[in-house]
Amino acid sequence: MFRDGAARAITGDAGGSVDFGSGLSNFRRSHSAAIQPKWQASVLMKVTELLSLRPGWDSYSAPVLKHDAAMFAMIVLQNVMKPGTPEPSVVPSSTGGVQLEWHVKDIDLEIHVLAPYQGEIWWCDRATGHESSVQLSKDLSVLSEPINKMSA
């Protein structure tokens, strides 16, 4: 499920040398799999179910969820989830994306992933009335505040 982002994975042993580090990479992968948090398997299962939806699954003309949108949603979660963060609800959107939702501890947070780097982040702190809405992009720092509040 995990890998290092190295060119070697693209090309194999094209450089004409044997890499002693590959054993370490294999160990790292096994170790990562063994210690992965519970939300990963659960969210992965839900997202995989959504990928099997047929066009028009909403009785109208909703397109299917795209694989790269699903992958990007997993990457967003991997980057922002903390040990105490509740697992999000995972729902399909009628525009072909996936929505990750939390409604806990006075925080409403919705991340709508339409495609890699495309979509919307909306969150509201019901205790203070603060509300924020931004476009999803490569910068995920906007998620720190609502995630921290939910994970406390």
Partner 1 sequence: MTSRPPRLPSFDRPPVTEVVLSLQFGMLGAMTSPYIGYLWARFRDRYPKVTEQLPVDAFFETFGTPPIAQQPTIRFEQLTGPPTIRYWFESADETSLCQVQQDRLIHNWRKRDSEYPRYEAVRAELVKDLETFEEFLQSEKLGALNFNQSEISYINTIDLPGGDDPHGAIEQVISTWSRLDGVDRDLEDVVFRARFLMSKDGVPNARLHVNLTPAIRTTTMAHVVQLEMTYRGKPEAEDRASALKLLDEGRAAIVVAFADMTTPEMHDHWGRTDV
The minimum distance between CB 67 and partner 1, in angstroms, equals: 5
d(CA 63, CA 108): 26
Comparing CB distances to partner 1, the nearer of 3 and 126 is 3
The residue (of 62 and 142) whose beta carbon lies closer to partner 1 is: 142
Residues at the site binding partner 1, with contacts judged by CB under 8 A: 1-11, 13-21, 24, 28-29, 32, 40, 44, 47-48, 51-52, 66-68, 70-72, 74-76, 78-80, 115-117, 138-144
In the complex, the smallest distance separating the C-beta of residue 127 from partner 1, rounded to whole angstroms, is 24
CB of 130 to partner 1, least distance (A): 19
Q: Based on CB atoms, which residue is closest to partner 1, 124 or 143?
A: 143
The three-class DSSP label of residue 75 is: helix
**List of residues 6+ apart from 8 with CB closer than 8 A:** 19, 22
By C-alpha distance, which of 90, 108, 86 is closest to 99? 90
Site of tokens 């939300």: 39
CB of 14 to partner 1, least distance (A): 5
Q: How far apart are CA 13 and CA 111, in angstroms?
A: 40
